[in-house]
Amino acid sequence: MSMSPYYQNLRDKVGAELLFMPSVAAVVRNEESHILFIRKGNEQIWGLPAGAIEIGETPAQAIVREVYEETGLTIVPTQIIGVFGGEKYQYQYSNGHQVEYLVIVFECSIIGGKLEAMDGEAEQLSFFREDELPDIAIPYPKEIFFKNVTEGRTVFE
């Protein structure tokens, strides 16, 4: 999905300047416990299914919506495995827009759907083993990708 009316209104006012953005990201595992990553068409690097929390939306609703829009999968969030923010979570998109994320990372289970890019943002969707993760755009701590580390706990920096 393109930018929501809320974020478009903000961008119309501040241009490409830095915006603080509450957001969500998903560690989605398949039956083999491989993790789903996406690569957007205008990006060279991989990322988790993720996106901004919209006005009036809970973080859990946001992650279900974002994962479906980007991957075609219906998921259920099962646990918060990380909460991250600060300067190192600043990112500049290829169009020059700057953001600083406050991101809640959910562990998610697939309950349905078919793996396909629904919103046209993702160029590639692929599952990776924990020990063969791709380079990613956002510097999440590596331990969030290891199920034996995050089971029953949340990672903070």
Residue numbers in the chain where pLDDT is lower than 70: 1
**Distance between CA atoms of residues 150 and 157, nearest Å:** 14
Q: How many domains does the chain have?
A: 1
CATH code of the domain in which 94 resides: 3.90.79.10
| This prediction's pTM | 0.93
pLDDT tens digits for 68-110? Answer: 999 999 999 999 999 999 999 999 988 899 999 999 999 999 9
DSSP3 helix / strand / coil % (the chain, rounded to 5): 25, 40, 35
Say if residues 107 and 79 touch (Cβ distance below 8 Å): yes
Per the structure, the complete domain to which residue 76 belongs is given by 5-156
- Give the contacts of 118 (CB within 8 A, at least 6 positions apart): 68, 69, 70, 71, 72
